[in-house]
Structure 1
């Protein structure tokens, strides 16, 4: 094939002068514009009179290279980095330095569209040469014949270059060398290999590009150079730059956000920062939202230019990646861009080398600002179309509805059935993961899709239930809207039960919601007794969420039994009611446990109203002190981490976890867990506050307990409620700790009156009799004290839980001076981890023995109680023990508080599991604790055993 023969630039200029002796011809002017050398001193937009931020080492290297050339040695440098890294600015700095030195400066810049033009870059370089003194023209840039080597041209051009400069130093800078034409690259390689003794500085700048024949030439040329790679700027560099441009020091968060959106790219920063300064945006945290908004417009031209330089397919690939976001797998990008896989891959590779996309799977943008520019450049109509296509592609590719729903959320409506199905499936998946707020977003978006009235009623009911779970105000309005259009009986029952539950967790009377439930049940078709039974069980769950189900047991229990009689499964679920009420009345502990366990194993985790039955079931197990059984049933978190758990559920769950920790004697964990009950102002929250007051009292933090009582005391009610009773007990316990005996006695008796009115006889719920008995004894009424203590012992024996029986026996021993009862209070706790109860029982036993003259035994038991109370931080108990130890003629033995013996049962259990190789998560699941509590246990174990970590546990525990 014939080569195109190129004339010399000098010949063109001479021709222009000859044909227009009196001036410059129009053609000559056009020629001058075409051959004017590239010298964009603005570089990447940096102020060249100031600093090149973060490029100080590179600037110093360039100056050193020019110094070496001035001394007679050639220097070849290669600056490598992604687009916008600052290569052009450094070249411009080198040219400015060389001109100050009086050197000849030649420059050129390659372009992708000119890569096929032979000698294109060399032409630019030669155009900067001054005229030869003897008038000689630049040798012609052509080959003599088709198959001739260009070597002669290289030799003549190079010789002419140094003849013209007369041996003076020369700087040649070439930008975007990756697009250089082949013959110019070969000339540069020729020059680089023959310039060792010449005063030449050759500085090249290039970005990575795809492999080709030209790339091998480029690599060979660069291999002969000193290579410097320009990395992204750091936040420290950026902080100084912002201060100079914006005239004020920047907040760390502002610097971090600028760095995030630009990825530390110098060119993007050079466009962004002046744009922010021009709009007087302060470099502070309150300006974070402005960075991307203003920056998008400022960098758009540069970003789109980078993308266009990556080939004709690159814009479509860039748009597809912007739309797909985190789902930008190459196969999906190709389909969305309408390209075959190979073409999309080539375009993606170019964008990666241009530092626009990351070299990852899925593909992502290096700079969020770049993605914002590309996304904003897509027209509204095309964006909607691409989003819908992306949603369908993602749904089919991943089979994960939430990923597809993320794209549907960006579109107002699709009018396609699959979109509605995808959004509802995504909501279900979010609920399964315990994310009601996210599920609510999917469901509300689904309302925009066309659907039948029955489907809309179902959807509204789901939204209402999810709003309950998310704690969103107005859930009852959504549920009433659903009820107004719902016709399916089971849906109407579900809505009615949810309305009752909304009122319950908000602490409102249930009357109006129950009227809705009764009306719905009255309209059920014949033969649907199972729906009516489900409604009654849902109402029971609502009652227990409000912490008082006495009215249900009195008025609705018989109705529930009748409606569930013919359904074996509903009969098992009805056992929750029997277990809960039996535990409150202290009747048949084994049967209560059996019914609660059977119900928990029967509950359908996909039915919200059934999930709520777990609350009273687990409460009954804790009242029965079946802590290990709760663990076998996957723990309290397992019971309450369900699809549509409400804020009220979370509060009740916190109360139950707190009760579990308190029963085991872990006052610190009980305090932490019960603190979450303060986050929800429901009646269940009141119960949690009251229990937290009791924990603080046992810890000796009386001022904190008093503040809680004053801030969260429930309003007075006409009839007794569980909330008022449990709060009266907490208040009385605080008075007792302050030695306000009369006030304490009055409070405990008030608690008893309230509980009796509610039918609560079980001392495991609140041991008000034993507390009142102690107050009576201290006030001198021994008969009343012994009567109340004996009554509690009888009730506790009938119920049969160790902690409740120990509490009753200890009080009986103290008020009646009976060492046998006091000793039984200690021994009944054998094989339990009731550390607080054990410490109190030991101290009570010691005091009784001291009063009866058994001083040595008394001192030993008091020392044991003192040590255990110190370990669990029960301050009032160990202070009381210390007083009686001194009365017995001894001193508290601090030596007992250390080593393995200082570990509580919970700490010992956690340590043994950790020594066996269990993880903190596994220990938490096994022991029905939070992972944070396990970490606290192990930290305490390490401190008490004097070790630093798990590897030493086994040896320390065996000592």
Structure 2
């Protein structure tokens, strides 16, 4: 597609000072470079190369004028244009600026949340907006202009950041203006948007341009000192320069002569004062109306502004005409200040008391006119209004609207104001609990404090139960399972048995926390079973499933309970998270890996969206275990690293990190993770002992490995719990390596018996491998070869353990003269090890093949050896992204990116990043 020509865009020319004086059109003086940048932006968009330009500058420097010029130029070149002007008082109105961009009747529902989805997500709305943008840009190129972007509501900023990440190929240009020194609604998202932008700073015009403007304004040349004084006084800001010229003319009409010293006395603040004086001369009605617009915010309607300042319809209309004629307001048809300097000067002129009184009146006026709840609530908060009987209802509805639009910050402001109302008892406790729920993504420590307050002021057991449920779940997220259980026990002791429903609910939650993935509870909790309680049945099933496993019940029965709980439950609140993960964890323990993954992935997404980081980390930990069990070691490492970098219970993930590194042959990294782990933590000890034993075994120190695995088994059995890790097969393996054949046979027999009793194919298969290795397990009804054959059949869905079984069986077959079958097993084991990234397994199979006089299949190297994630990371690195940029784009940690690159270098047989492009195939 051809680029825009100069004639199509109206090529920029050197601007002279306009004939009607410096305040009209002066903002375009000296902006040739800026116009060139905007021409390039529009030309790129016309060619299907979307671009973003951000104009930065102080108030009055001409940002809005340049935005208007860009929109007019784009329209003349055949672009569609859409413009939004953000307002400080509209920051709490979700998608307020976005709705200004999409004004067609058919676009009314674009930003309405889809209540069929989780209310914590705006993803569906963003997808609709993106699709509508693409549709508009199909007919003709599109320019989106957002003025005063620093005041944009947070959902709008997030949508713009979403748009620029996904607009490849769209004929769209985005122009934003940012006023320096003004408060920013969401600095992090604005910075993210800025990373994709061409930043064009707008500075004041030069001294020569100021001198020329003054000569034109006064119809005579001015002295160099006078021009320099004017330049210093205004910083070259066109708006201030125009106002300064007006102030000088006013003084000269009184007979005064203004020289450079007089200019210095006027200064910028005096310029603002001059604006106010000019405003006051228009009359009391105009001043009152300007004050009303300053309080209501840009975009105010005339009726509300008139009611706020007590003007009748005709008087208000005349005041608007006068203010527009004076260049103070614009009306199109809603009322806005023509310039932020004027608006800020008017606001600063209001005393604190007058401002509070004005916001109070504004809240009453808007409520009486049935304005949207969020619009009324903004003034309720600004006035700290607590006396009106309707305030609580307005704040509640405003908070609901903000939550529906995923604006937690606004919802938090409204609910915090609601908590200032003179209410107590259960109503206050419910409000505090609701506030804490939305504070989770804003201020987690404040959420904890508000839940503790709710527990203190609640009167009924039902309200106390909900507060205790949310508090214990949040405390688990912040401080770990032990502290969460302590919260529940304290409430249990306080309430006693006066209310069976409340007591039963608390008891069930205590059991649920004892069943969290990776934790080993006290013996009494392990032996307890959930008693029927007046809570939804799915919660009882969720806890019962986990405890059924721990008592050694059959895996199919455990899985049935867990799946029923997850099918019947509606686990979308913080208080229900312990039950969700009890059930999902039970599915993993019962070796239902596909089901575990199916339920865990959406639950992790929900937890991330709601800010339940501790529960999200537990879910990622379970998904890492599933990935490892299914031979996806690259995915397992990504997930366990994500889990170990989140929350204050991160040490719970470290044993899994150790085992994953050991499976991949990364013993140095495994040792580093071991040194980070807390061996004295009772919750982590059994799994940590197992992980350390695996590391010792990988290093050939089977004496220490055996000791750790036996200690792990004792830790579980002390609570009468079936171990969550296969410590007995690994202990048997190390005992065999030490030549302690009988001990190995006994340990293997124990694992076989437990595996047969529970129906756990993984535990049974792993135990049968060692049983076959040491010469059979007559008690299990299988000799050595039969045990190995059964193990291979059982482990079809567990690639890593299957490869171990194939290696042992293949070696035994070769030793007994069945070389063809044995070599086939060994080559299959080698291929599984290579495909999974389990280098030690592949190495073991290779050694056995060579011992039999054969070579393995050629190891997969080069680009074909890269995993999907490794290919993605390498591609981004070749494109020039830094490790941090790759991490942010793929939602990984920098450490994970470094690991993927290091592994890729090894597979590609190169030394570093500079050789990547040459090592990859072209085309």
Q: What TM-score does the superposition give when structure 1 sets the normalisation length?
A: 0.56
Distance change (3 Å), C-alpha of 1:646 and 1:631:
closer
Distance change (3 Å), C-alpha of 1:297 and 1:652:
farther
Structure 2 Cα separation of the partners of residues 460 and 87 of structure 1: 42
Distance change (3 Å), C-alpha of 1:39 and 1:932:
closer
Structure 2 Cα separation of the partners of residues 856 and 624 of structure 1: 36
How far residue 619 of structure 1 moved from its aligned partner, in angstroms, is: 0.7
Indicate the residue corresponding to 2:549 in structure 1. 583
Indicate the residue corresponding to 1:797 in structure 2. 756
Q: Does 1:812 align with 2:771?
A: yes
Indicate the residue corresponding to 1:690 in structure 2. 655
Give the alignment partner of residue 490 of structure 1, picking from 449, 453, 462.
462
How far residue 748 of structure 1 moved from its aligned partner, in angstroms, is: 0.8
The C-alpha deviation readout for 1:232-283, integer Å capped at 9, x for no partner, is 99999x9xxxxxxxxxxxxx99x9999489999x9999877579xxxxxxxx
Q: Does 1:455 align with 2:427?
A: yes
How far residue 866 of structure 1 moved from its aligned partner, in angstroms, is: 2.5
Give yes or no for contact 2:584–2:600 (8 Å, CA) kept in 1: no
Give yes or no for contact 2:574–2:612 (8 Å, CA) kept in 1: no
Q: Give structure 2 stretches of 5+ with no counterpart.
A: 1-16, 37-58, 66-173, 181-193, 211-229, 238-266, 777-783, 873-889, 908-923
Indicate the residue corresponding to 1:736 in structure 2. 697
How far residue 846 of structure 1 moved from its aligned partner, in angstroms, is: 3.2
Q: Does 1:418 align with 2:357?
A: no
Q: Give structure 1 stretches of 5+ with no counterpart.
A: 1-37, 60-81, 89-231, 239-251, 276-294, 911-929, 945-959
Once the two structures are superposed, the pairs formed by residues 353-392 of structure 1 within 5 Å of their partners are: 372=344, 375-376=347-348, 379-381=351-353, 383-384=355-356, 387=359
Work out which of the two has the higher radius of gyration on C-alpha atoms and give 1 or 2.
1
Q: Does 1:539 align with 2:505?
A: no
Give the alignment partner of residue 759 of structure 1, picking from 715, 720, 724.
720
How far residue 535 of structure 1 moved from its aligned partner, in angstroms, is: 2.0
How far residue 485 of structure 1 moved from its aligned partner, in angstroms, is: 3.2
Give the alignment partner of residue 666 of structure 2, picking from 677, 701, 704.
701
The C-alpha deviation readout for 1:599-618, integer Å capped at 9, x for no partner, is 23443546643343111111
Give yes or no for contact 1:693–1:709 (8 Å, CA) kept in 2: yes
Distance change (3 Å), C-alpha of 1:357 and 1:661:
farther
Indicate the residue corresponding to 1:778 in structure 2. 737
Instruction: Report SS of the residue matched to 1:613.
Output: helix
The C-alpha deviation readout for 1:822-871, integer Å capped at 9, x for no partner, is 344333344x4x44444444444433433433333333333333333223
Distance change (3 Å), C-alpha of 1:369 and 1:868:
farther
Structure 2 Cα separation of the partners of residues 460 and 314 of structure 1: 43
Distance change (3 Å), C-alpha of 1:233 and 1:824:
closer
Distance change (3 Å), C-alpha of 1:355 and 1:437:
closer
Distance change (3 Å), C-alpha of 1:534 and 1:808:
same
How far residue 482 of structure 1 moved from its aligned partner, in angstroms, is: 3.6
Distance change (3 Å), C-alpha of 1:323 and 1:758:
farther
Indicate the residue corresponding to 1:24 in structure 2. none
Distance change (3 Å), C-alpha of 1:353 and 1:41:
closer
Once the two structures are superposed, the pairs formed by residues 203-218 of structure 1 within 5 Å of their partners are: none
Give yes or no for contact 1:774–1:815 (8 Å, CA) kept in 2: no
Indicate the residue corresponding to 2:830 in structure 1. 866
Q: Does 1:516 align with 2:487?
A: no
Q: In angstroms, what is the RMSD of aligned CA positions?
A: 5.9
Distance change (3 Å), C-alpha of 1:702 and 1:438:
farther
Instruction: Report SS of the residue matched to 1:766.
Output: coil
Once the two structures are superposed, the pairs formed by residues 117-156 of structure 1 within 5 Å of their partners are: none
Distance change (3 Å), C-alpha of 1:42 and 1:368:
closer
Once the two structures are superposed, the pairs formed by residues 466-865 of structure 1 within 5 Å of their partners are: 472-473=444-445, 478-497=450-469, 500-501=472-473, 504=476, 506-507=479-480, 508=482, 513-522=487-496, 524=498, 528-545=499-516, 547-551=519-523, 553=525, 557=529, 561=531, 564=533, 567=534, 570-605=536-571, 608-630=574-596, 633=599, 635-637=601-603, 641=607, 646-679=612-645, 682=648, 684-715=649-680, 721-762=682-723, 765-816=724-775, 818-830=784-796, 832=797, 834-865=798-829
Give yes or no for contact 2:768–2:788 (8 Å, CA) kept in 1: yes
The C-alpha deviation readout for 1:904-953, integer Å capped at 9, x for no partner, is 99999x9xxxxxxxxxxxxxxxxxxx9989x99x9999xx9xxxxxxxxx
Distance change (3 Å), C-alpha of 1:324 and 1:695:
farther
Structure 2 Cα separation of the partners of residues 645 and 233 of structure 1: 32
Structure 1 Cα separation of the partners of residues 483 and 34 of structure 2: 74
The C-alpha deviation readout for 1:5-55, integer Å capped at 9, x for no partner, is xxxxxxxxxxxxxxxxxxxxxxxxxxxxxxxxx99999579999xx97444
Indicate the residue corresponding to 1:92 in structure 2. none
How far residue 749 of structure 1 moved from its aligned partner, in angstroms, is: 0.9
Give yes or no for contact 1:603–1:611 (8 Å, CA) kept in 2: no
Distance change (3 Å), C-alpha of 1:931 and 1:234:
closer
Give yes or no for contact 1:324–1:390 (8 Å, CA) kept in 2: yes
Aligned length: 662
Structure 1 Cα separation of the partners of residues 570 and 545 of structure 2: 19
Instruction: Report SS of the residue matched to 1:581.
Output: helix
Give yes or no for contact 1:807–1:837 (8 Å, CA) kept in 2: yes
Structure 2 Cα separation of the partners of residues 863 and 345 of structure 1: 92
Give yes or no for contact 1:885–1:891 (8 Å, CA) kept in 2: yes
Give yes or no for contact 1:741–1:775 (8 Å, CA) kept in 2: yes
The C-alpha deviation readout for 1:567-617, integer Å capped at 9, x for no partner, is 5x6455322222011123331222222222232344354664334311111
Give yes or no for contact 1:845–1:861 (8 Å, CA) kept in 2: yes
Give yes or no for contact 1:45–1:270 (8 Å, CA) kept in 2: no
Structure 2 Cα separation of the partners of residues 503 and 445 of structure 1: 24
Structure 2 Cα separation of the partners of residues 352 and 696 of structure 1: 74
